[in-house]
Amino acid sequence: MAATTRALVFGRWLADAIRLDLVGPKLRILDASWHLPKLERDAKAEFVQKHIPGALFFDIDECSDRSSVYGFMLPTSDHFSQYVGALGIGSDTHVVVYDTSDFGSYSAPRVWWMFRLFGHDSVSVLDGGLKNWLADGHPVTPECCTPERREFRATTNASWVKSYEDVLENVGTKQVQVVDARPVGRFRGVEPEPRDDIPPGHFPGAINLPFTSFMDASGKELGTEELSKRFIEAGVDLERPLWATCSAGITACHVVLAAHLLGRAGVCVYDGSWFEWFMRASPEHIISEGEGKRSLRLVMAATTRALVSGRWLADAIRSDLVGPKLRILDASWYLPKLRRDAKAEFVQKHIPGALFFDIDECSDRSSAFDHMLPTSDHFSQYVGALGIGRDTHVVVYDTSDFGSYSAPRVWWMFRLFGHDSVSVLDGGLKNWLADGHPVTPECCTPERREFRATTNASWAKSYEDVLENVGTKQVQVVDARSAGRFRGVEPEPRDDTLPGHFPGAINMPFTSFMDASGKELGTDELSKLFKEAGVDLERPLWATCGSGVTACHVVLAAQLLGHPGVCVYDGSWAEWFKRASPEHIISEGEGKKV
């Protein structure tokens, strides 16, 4: 009963407290409503129209880590302290949380858990939420109040929050039970997730207990006997360690609340939940009754990591998220014959908050060939100076008239050096401007961060590798140059290099992966391109071009189709033409002379 008393209060009790004028510094009522975007409900606007008398609005989005790409991840203790202090809450305040969900309770248990996580145990959920408050005839009002700020000092119980790394380790060890609170269809992978870019499914070993199963038909919490039966029937032993997950850490807290009501305090929450897991996990850790390993689900996983839209980035900039957790890089590079100065153009205008990534500077300057890969130490130093650390989401774009030209090269470099949290801005600056988003000449200087590169050397292929493959023909090699240069009938951009290709190469010009506007083609069109070119994505694949830049469009396209790890011949045609013997130069033009 002690746990029950702390965790739940009933409408009649709260109505009596309001009638006795107890709402104030010692008792605060919080409307913690949050609705899925697809519901098109504005929780804050609804609060202004009507709420429980004396209630204040708790904005879950605002009281979160706004720099995270996953949405309403936990704030820092300082952020939480400042936020709830502004709501007139101190260490001696009893907090009662409710929401306006049609379920009866949806997001309120998340805020209940947040208070407990940050060291404040005097917090309760209003059983049945506003739905039952109204059904029982209790009053609501549009009148708002402004409390006097109080001092609140959060002390975080960090062990209650689990990370992707914690859950990944547990997938292997199976030491902890993990309950997933999403509906059964989303858990199984047969009903859609509320976010268009995240398909459904679950991770290995998870147990499904939908959050609605903890409530009765009216939306009130089940009694302890019924709650105990739910856990037993699901095979969950409350005497063993237990973690909870869902889509984004909201309804997982219903599991924590139910366990707490049964005297099992301290159930942990995987804060990133399915949204983070799906973005980061490898295919074998995505379980779904959907279309299988190479299904749309995995294609969309790759898409989410590899591309971001202009609208997404514009929203991130408006939300002031650019900083240590999100860096935007202008990775423009032009062939000398175009006579465009990428760095000078950056100084004139760029996406707000962007920094310039110089492909030539971040390269092996000792090589006779252009912009060969740098060492891992060089890369680490260079990107660290751009304020990029291991927890930074990097978004890369360029200013090419194609829409995208050199950005995929830098995207691939980050992945090669062990940093998977990197995306290409779909359509580049060309589409950013076409969509009416802002640019600026204002430059910023980030604070250096530590970056430690770990090189996947197998992703970069050498002249010797390609020469051997010319003989063995074990690997497909796609050349991303234009058809004329590939055939040998149009000039190369370098005066000392003639056009053509090496034996066995398959031509897929990098522009063929984009539509007329310069945005990446959809997965159906990309798949069709590879099939028409005779490329089997289930077999090993390498990419080449003029000097290792546009080859990375092939890597990106394959990644979008769920095939990561396509390798790049770094020296590409510029090196091959210099080193290969004439019989290994195929051209409809004059070819190479001995």
| Dihedral in degrees, nearest 10, Cα atoms 42, 8, 74, 254 | -80
In sequence order, what are the beta bridge partners of 543?
478, 568
Place of tokens 């009790």: 13
All residues at 6 or more sequence positions from 323 whose CB lies less than 8 Å from its CB, including other chains: 67, 387, 446
Q: How far apart are CA 231 and CA 254, in angstroms?
A: 13
What are the respective helix, strand and coil percentages of the chain, to the nearest 5? 35, 15, 50
* H or E element, residue 268: strand 268-270
Helix (H, G, I), strand (E, B) or coil at 57: strand
Q: How far apart are CA 119 and CA 507, in angstroms?
A: 61
| Closest residue by Cα to residue 527 from 308, 309, 304, 294 | 294
Q: Which of 63, 253, 545, 567 does the annotation list as catalytic?
A: 545
The full DSSP string for 20-41 is TT--BTTEEEEE-----GGG--
**Is residue 362 annotated as a catalytic residue, yes or no?**
no
| Closest residue by Cα to residue 552 from 455, 412, 419 | 412
All residues at 6 or more sequence positions from 355 whose CB lies less than 8 Å from its CB, including other chains: 327, 328, 329, 330, 386, 387, 444, 446
Enumerate the active-site residues: 545
